[in-house]
Amino acid sequence: AQKVTQAQTEISVVEKEDVTLDCVYETRDTTYYLFWYKQPPSGELVFLIRRNSFDEQNEISGRYSWNFQKSTSSFNFTITASQVVDSAVYFCALRVWGQGGKLIFGQGTELSVKP
Amino acid sequence: SQTIHQWPATLVQPVGSPLSLECTVEGTSNPNLYWYRQAAGRGLQLLFYSVGIGQISSEVPQNLSASRPQDRQFILSSKKLLLSDSGFYLCACPGGSGANVLTFGAGSRLTVL
């Protein structure tokens, strides 16, 4: 079975703190994609990053960085020097082949960044 | 890149009334299409997906149905709404930020009273 677990339901930090959002996934497929999406209060899902199962390189984009480790089935997301505008719900998701290529989402982590 | 249109954006309906939510996609042809629901704050649940006209796969048993009458049109329906159908409904389609990336519409927020 495929599954995505985001154990942190809510995280609250003060502006400029670093914060890491955890994501653990389960799949028997050898080919899959992992994603992070951001959902601001407006509700729309905003794509942040995609990783395929053959690429374990960490990625950095500005204040955002992602750590993909197949050995622990984890795909964690770190925001450096958090800002109030980072406040949102963040979803980790898994996409596998077959079944229409659907996305399986974790339950989301609500991040609150206070000034 | 494609654009996903969803309407209505907001809907308040009484229990037992019918429902029709529409999703149309521009800028792509024969895409896979998906309906997700987000109930009570967070978790995103896949309801239906379609790989082509007239082809619908249901992920969970429910009070809702889906149809795909045209290549770029995906409709979510109900004959009689339940309170538990309240939620935020999102239509999605591959593309936009990459071939394997699902792009989502702005959503339709349904409140059943």
Contact A39, A108 (CB under 8 A): yes
Residues of B in contact with A103 (CB under 8 A): 34, 44, 46, 92, 102
Q: What is the pLDDT at residue B41? A: 65
Closest-CA distance of chain B to residue A14, Å = 23
Kindly report, residue by residue over A26-73, the tens digit of the pLDDT.
999 888 999 999 999 888 899 999 998 888 888 888 999 999 999 999
Confidence class for position A111, pLDDT limits 50, 70, 90: very high
Quote the CA–CA distance of A41 and B17 in Å, as a whole number.
29
More reliable by pLDDT, B99 or B68: B68
Q: Which residues of B touch A107 (CB under 8 A)?
A: 42-43
What is the pLDDT, as a whole number, of residue B67? Answer: 97
Can you give the C-alpha Rg of chain B in angstroms?
Answer: 13
In the 8-state DSSP scheme, what is residue A59?
E
Pick the residue with more confidence: A56 or B20? Answer: B20
Q: Give residue-wise pLDDT tens across range B3-18.
A: 999 999 999 999 999 9
What span, in angstroms and rounded, lies between the C-alpha atoms of A68 and B23?
A: 34
**pLDDT tens-digit map of A8-25:** 999 999 999 999 999 999
CB-CB contact of B86 with B64 (8 Å): no
Residue B99: pLDDT band (50, 70, 90) is low
From chain B residues 30-89, the ones with a CB under 8 A of any chain A CB are 32, 34, 36, 42-44, 46, 49-51, 57, 59, 88
B65-71: long-range contacts at Cβ-Cβ below 8 A with a sequence spacing of 24 or more?
B66/B35, B68/B33, B71/B29, B71/B30
Put simply, whether A107 touches B (Cβ < 8 Å) is yes
What confidence score (pLDDT) does residue A42 get?
A: 87
Mean pLDDT, residues A84-88 taken together: 96
What local confidence, expressed as pLDDT, does residue B6 receive? 97
Q: Is A79 helix (H, G, I), strand (E, B) or coil?
A: strand
Comparing alpha-carbon positions, the chain A residue that sits nearest to B105 is: A44
Residue A55, pLDDT score: 84
pLDDT of residue A77: 96
pLDDT digits (tens, 9 = 90+) for B28-82: 888 999 999 998 767 899 999 999 999 999 988 788 999 999 999 999 999 999 9
Question: What is the percent of chain B where pLDDT is above 70?
Answer: 97
